[in-house]
Amino acid sequence: MTAPVFREFLEQNPDVEIVMVSRKNFEGLFADIPNVTFKGINLDEYKGFFGLRRLANELIKEFNPDLIANLHDVIRTKILDKIYRRKGLKVFKINKGKEEKEELTDVWNLHKVQLKKTVERYADVFRAMGFKVELSHKLRPVTAQKSGIGLAPFAQHKGKMLPLEKSYELARILAQKYTIYFFGGGKKETETLEKWASEIPNTESLSGKLNLSEELRKISELELMISMDSANMHLASLMGTRCVSVWGATHPFAGFLGFGQSEDDVVQVKDLTCRPCSVFGDKECYRGDWACLEELSVRKIVEKIQL
Tens of pLDDT along the chain (307 residues)?
999 999 999 999 999 999 999 999 999 999 999 999 999 999 999 999 999 999 999 999 999 999 999 999 999 999 999 999 999 999 999 999 999 999 999 999 999 999 999 999 999 999 999 999 999 999 999 998 999 999 999 999 999 999 999 999 999 999 999 999 999 999 999 999 999 999 999 999 999 999 999 999 999 999 999 999 999 999 999 999 999 999 999 999 999 999 999 999 999 999 999 999 999 999 999 999 999 999 999 999 999 996 5
> Residue type for 1, please?
M
Q: What is the 3-state secondary structure (H, E, C) of the chain?
A: CHHHHHHHHHHHCCCCCEEEEEEHHHHHHHCCCCCEEEEEECHHHCCHHHHHHHHHHHHHHHHCCCEEEECCCCHHHHHHHHHHHHCCCEEEECCCCHHHHHHHCCCCCCCCCCCCCHHHHHHHHHHHCCCCCCCCCCCCCCCCCCCCEEEECCCCCHHHCCCHHHHHHHHHHHCCCCCEEECCCCHHHHHHHHHHHHHCCCEEECCCCCCHHHHHHHHHCCCEEEEECCHHHHHHHHCCCCEEEECCCCCHHHCCCCCCCCHHHEECCCCCCCCCCCCCCCCCCCCCCCHHHHCCCHHHHHHHCCC
Can you give the pLDDT at residue 247?
98
CA 290 to chain centre: 23
Can you give the pLDDT at residue 49?
96
Q: What is the largest CA-CA distance in the chain?
A: 62
pTM surpassing 0.85?
yes
Handedness of CA 255, 259, 264, 266 (dihedral sign): negative
Closest of 53, 58, 61 to residue 81, by C-alpha: 53
Can you give the pLDDT at residue 280?
95
For 147, residues 6+ apart whose C-beta sits below 8 A from its C-beta are 179, 221, 222, 223
Can you give the pLDDT at residue 307?
53
